[in-house]
Amino acid sequence: MASTATTCLLHNYSLAKSTNFETPKLSERTSILTIVAQKKAKKIRKIILKEDITQLGKKGELLDVKAGFFRNYLLPLGMAQIVTPTLLKEMKMEDERIEAEKQRVKEEALQLARIFETVGAFKVKRKGGKGKQIFGSVTAQDLVDIIKAQLQREVDKKIVSLPEIRETGEYVAELKLHPDVTARVRLTVFAN
């Protein structure tokens, strides 16, 4: 554009010279053209992931990604969506609901742990051998059956951990009711 203006200015000057007109002063006819360079704006989108994506994030996570990556990859595959105020509100309500559910499960586990610990010792009968020896051993399934018979509570045998029991005596078994709640149960083994 600057070269076109210069060409027009020179052309006007040559016409004025050939026709003997007064030549305009250069300062009156020219205007200063300034070009300002702008930085390229970074186009970032705030998104929420709809599924787990390796090296990017987990489902429900808020992220800032480049607009092109979102537009060309995440959006067409349905892996993410743009954050909106209503979506944020829904996510917050869902998080609160999940947190309340976790708290309720933990409270149930604490109540069950109190019940187990107030019962005292569960008694197990086994055939006796020499001295304190018993035939066979006491397993987690035996403890689960005793709890079901005495307390009418269903307990998964996978949460029960007890030492190897091959003799009569008192033992302590642990029931992992919740990641934060462990109940200790006394177990008395005697021979009949």
Statement to judge: residues 78 and 123 lie in one domain:
no
Number of domains in the chain: 2
Higher pLDDT pick, 131 / 55: 55
Q: Are strands 44-49 and 80-82 parallel, antiparallel or unpaired?
A: antiparallel
Does residue 57 belong to any structural domain of this protein?
yes
Does residue 90 belong to any structural domain of this protein?
no
Does residue 15 belong to any structural domain of this protein?
no
CATH number at residue 72: 3.40.5.10
Statement to judge: residues 74 and 141 lie in one domain:
no
What average pLDDT does the segment 40-69 reach?
90
The helix (H) or strand (E) run that includes residue 149 is helix 140-151
CATH number at residue 150: 3.10.430.100
**And the tokens for 32?**
């200063």
Q: Does residue 6 surpass a pLDDT of 60? A: no
- Residue ending a domain, choose from 64, 83, 102: 83
How confident is the model over 131-143, as pLDDT tens digits?
888 888 888 898 8
Q: Are strands 169-178 and 181-191 parallel, antiparallel or unpaired?
A: antiparallel
Structural domain containing residue 69:
44-83
Does residue 166 belong to any structural domain of this protein?
yes
Higher pLDDT pick, 164 / 38: 164
Q: Does residue 8 surpass a pLDDT of 50? A: no
What average pLDDT does the segment 42-57 reach?
91
Which position has the token pair 């509570």? 153
The reported pTM is 0.58
The residues near 62 (Cβ < 8 Å, ≥ 6 apart) are: 46, 47, 48, 83
